[in-house]
């Protein structure tokens, strides 16, 4: 049996840096790494640097040099890691440089340098981590926080501005999930379209190449892993157009979850969201021309402060034009701390309920028409549940929990996670019925 990989660590600087070192080691120990007390017994060495004073920086550079001379495989992290160029200028041979508090990135650099050896008998945590979803699908979080300031939302004040994960780290996690049997990845964040803007699209290593932190590049990498990949919470930036060809080629699911929230320019302005309804319609047309199977899901808020009957009717007309496949709608509710609370023109509760009903009724008819096109088609579906009456599955256009289902009458011998071809013979507003295609 191969010995467990051994990591050495040199911790410099203040007690905060020491806590970071402890966290890194705790995580590595939980993954089965051993800690080496000497350079020569280690498969790689982490140097946790301090960059507070010039003298501390000099000491950090010296420690990196010593580790390189004694061991040769060195990963640098900590306060000085924020300035990669300075470190690489003196020590170009270091394996990776990560900044302060970037535990995930350090651990990923260790995985790259010295891959963990999974041992199902003793590992406390499986390689893919602990999942709360069924085994065949998993959420993949690509960033945290948001740079927008929508007036109804307090997420930026709770979670801060956008912080994206390096692309290599996300792809490595996705690979572990694929190896653990996950068949469908649900890519989530507060704002998936903005992925990588905060990193200025910096590259990071994955497999034998560098991948940019950019939605199109990340999506292309995810598309190589053989899983269904579904994008959620995509703000409609122009560069989102880059993922449509990947959908048309079958690398990503032809599914976009875009929270438009409204269509009236006046209401969108009050919401502090982009307000170019015509251009959005034009882009939807183009997306569908390039990828005819595309399913578009969205959410809308009715009864936002200042929304008049004319604004609401504008939204209904827009929905008729856009012909979205899936729509969720909510009545506006004030959230403690949201800027929208100060806006004039509160809409009466009864009126909000009435508008919600009208919107859902308008959309029900649109969804029904969109769904009816599947009757007579053979589609692929992923099985979620099986019982004696058959299988409950989802099409490529159905995300778990929020969209419709595909009922397979003769699917009682299938298993969750199976991807099968289904001949559709019946459609309702949200769900489809059919039998296995022979
Ligand atoms: S609604 Fe979404 S895009 Fe707007 S601020 Fe909140 S998290 Fe950001």
- pLDDT score, position 2: 61
Q: Is 191 near ligand 1, meaning CB less than 6 Å away?
A: yes
Ligand 1 mutation pick, 144, 153, 259, max ligand atoms within 8 A of CB: 153
- pLDDT score, position 120: 67
- pLDDT score, position 1: 41
Mean pLDDT per 10-residue run, the chain (438 residues)?
A: 83 80 86 89 93 84 96 92 85 90 83 82 67 85 90 86 92 91 92 94 93 96 97 86 94 95 95 83 94 96 97 97 95 89 94 97 95 96 94 96 94 95 94 94
| Residue 227 Cα to ligand 1 middle (Å) | 28
| Residue 145 Cα to ligand 1 middle (Å) | 9
- pLDDT score, position 236: 79
Q: Is 9 near ligand 1, meaning CB less than 6 Å away?
A: no
Nearest CA owner, ligand 1 atom 6 = 153
- Decide the pairing of beta strands 295-302 and 326-331: parallel
């Amino acid at each position: 049996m191969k010995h467990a990989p051994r990591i050495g660590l040199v911790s410099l600087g203040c007690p905060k840096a020491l806590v970071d070192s402890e966290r890194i080691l705790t995580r590595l120990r939980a993954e089965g790494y051993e800690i080496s007390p000497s350079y020569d017994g280690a498969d790689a060495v982490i140097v946790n640097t301090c960059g507070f004073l010039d003298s501390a920086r000099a000491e950090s550079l010296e420690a990196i040099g010593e580790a390189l001379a004694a061991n040769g495989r060195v990963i640098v992290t900590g306060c000085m890691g924020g300035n990669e160029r300075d470190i690489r200028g003196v020590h170009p041979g270091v394996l990776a440089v990560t900044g302060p508090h970037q535990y995930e990135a350090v651990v990923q650099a260790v995985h790259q340098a010295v891959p963990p050896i999974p041992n199902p008998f003793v590992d406390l945590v499986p390689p893919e981590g602990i999942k709360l979803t069924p085994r065949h699908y998993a959420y993949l979080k690509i960033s945290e926080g948001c740079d927008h300031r929508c007036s109804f939302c307090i997420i930026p004040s709770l979670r801060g501005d956008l912080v994206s994960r390096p692309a290599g780290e996300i792809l490595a996690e996705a690979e572990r999930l694929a190896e653990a049997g996950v068949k469908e990845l649900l890519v989530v964040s507060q704002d998936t379209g903005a992925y990588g803007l905060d990193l200025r699209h910096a590259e990071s290593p994955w497999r034998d190449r560098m991948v940019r932190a950019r939605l199109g590049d990340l999506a292309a990498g995810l598309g190589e892993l053989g899983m269904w990949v579904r994008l959620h919470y995509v703000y409609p930036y122009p560069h989102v157009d880059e993922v449509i060809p990947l959908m048309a080629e079958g690398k990503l699911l032809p599914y976009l979850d875009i929270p438009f929230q409204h269509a009236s320019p006046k209401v969108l302005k009050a919401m502090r969201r982009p307000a170019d309804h015509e251009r959005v319609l034009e882009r939807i047309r183009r997306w569908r021309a390039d990828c005819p199977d595309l399913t578009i899901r969205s959410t809308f808020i009715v009864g936002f402060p200042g929304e008049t009957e004319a604004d609401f009717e504008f939204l209904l007309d827009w929905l008729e034009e856009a012909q979205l496949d899936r729509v969720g709608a909510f009545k506006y509710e004030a959230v403690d701390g949201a800027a929208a609370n100060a806006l004039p023109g509160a809409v009466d509760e009864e009126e909000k309920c009435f508008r919600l009903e009208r919107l859902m009724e308008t959309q029900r008819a649109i969804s029904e028409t969109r769904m009816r096109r599947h009757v007579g088609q053979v589609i692929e579906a992923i099985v979620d549940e099986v019982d004696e009456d058959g299988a409950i599955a989802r099409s490529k256009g159905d995300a778990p929990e929020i969209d419709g289902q595909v009922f397979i009458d003769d699917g009682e011998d299938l298993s969750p996670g199976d991807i099968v071809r289904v001949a559709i013979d019946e459609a309702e507003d949200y769900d489809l019925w059919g039998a296995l295609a022979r």
